[in-house]
Every structure is written in structure tokens, then in C-alpha cells.
Amino acid sequence: MSLAFIGLGSNLGDGRANLKEAWQRLGKTRGITPLGLSSPYQTAPVGMASKQWFTNAAGAIDTKLTPQELLAILLDIEQAMGRDRSKGEDRTVDLDLLLYDDLVLNSAQLEIPHPEMQHRLFVLAPLEELAPDHIHPQTELTIRQLRRNLADRDQQIRKGSWQERKQP
């Protein structure tokens, strides 16, 4: 079994519900055992024209799948949940393979570790909940150290809860 970390994001519809559904679909896939899902985070879009805030989270899984097989599953779930990569930046769900054991892979289809993760607070904050001492195989820094390196960056983020808020 291999340990993998998945980034989850959504900025269309009910983000929390979309991420929960994607996580449940992932957990029903043969060869994948879910280990944990971070809290949801509300985050301003980074590097895109959209004004729609995202709901982001990170998940840890054990898997028997190869990185390429896992990527195919992630893309299938995105498509099944309505993501159309040709229609722009907003998305019902975005699933990224962030880390896979200590593998470093750079191919036309897949880069592991995810090439931008160390610059993105919306990835590192939820990932830090799950694996603060996990070492990034290229930077050789822990997730906690990478997260602290972004402390002064101007990235808007708010930690949330999976629980629905009750209206008074």
C-alpha cells in the first residue's frame, strides 16, 4: 500500500457537499482506503479571474493503485460530478494528487509532488491538519514548515466545519 494525499476544491454550488461527495466516491473505489479528511477551508481564488471563493480540503488515503491509475480515478470523479475542463476556471470539484509516498515524478500527464503545492496556503493549511510532519520529497521540509513559510503571504483563508450551521 502507498500513502497518498489528495487536494479537494470546489467553487460552484455547495462546496462542502461537493467535497463530501467526491471523498465518498473516492472511498468506494477498489484499491483505495480513506484515512482522513481535513476540515474544509473557505479560500479566495488564487491565480485566476474568478471571484467565486473555494471550499478546499485535503484527504489522506492508502492505495494499491499506481499514481497514474489514481489520477485516472480522480479525473473520472471530477467528470462524473460535472467538471468540464474546457469551460473555464470555475468548477464543481477539483481533485489533485498532491503527494504519493516519497515519489518524485515528472511526466506530461502527472507531476508528483504537485508542482505548486508549496506556494498555496489553500493546499498546505488543510494538509497540515493531516500530516504536519510529512516531508515534501523535493524541498525536504515538513508540511508544517512549508505552511509557516507562507504565513506572510496575502492569501485569504478561513477554516470551517463539516457541520451544517443551524439557522436561529
Strand, coil or helix: what is 41? strand
Residues belonging to the active site = 83, 91, 94, 96
Q: How close are the terminal C-alpha atoms of the chain, in Å?
A: 47
Closest by alpha carbon to 11, among 44, 38, 60, 39? 44
C-alpha span between 77 and 26 (Å, rounded): 8
Torsional class of 139: left (φ above 0), alpha (ψ -120 to 50), beta (otherwise)? alpha
Q: Which residue has the cell 485566476?
A: 48
C-alpha span between 21 and 142 (Å, rounded): 29
User: Which H or E element spans position 160?
Assistant: none
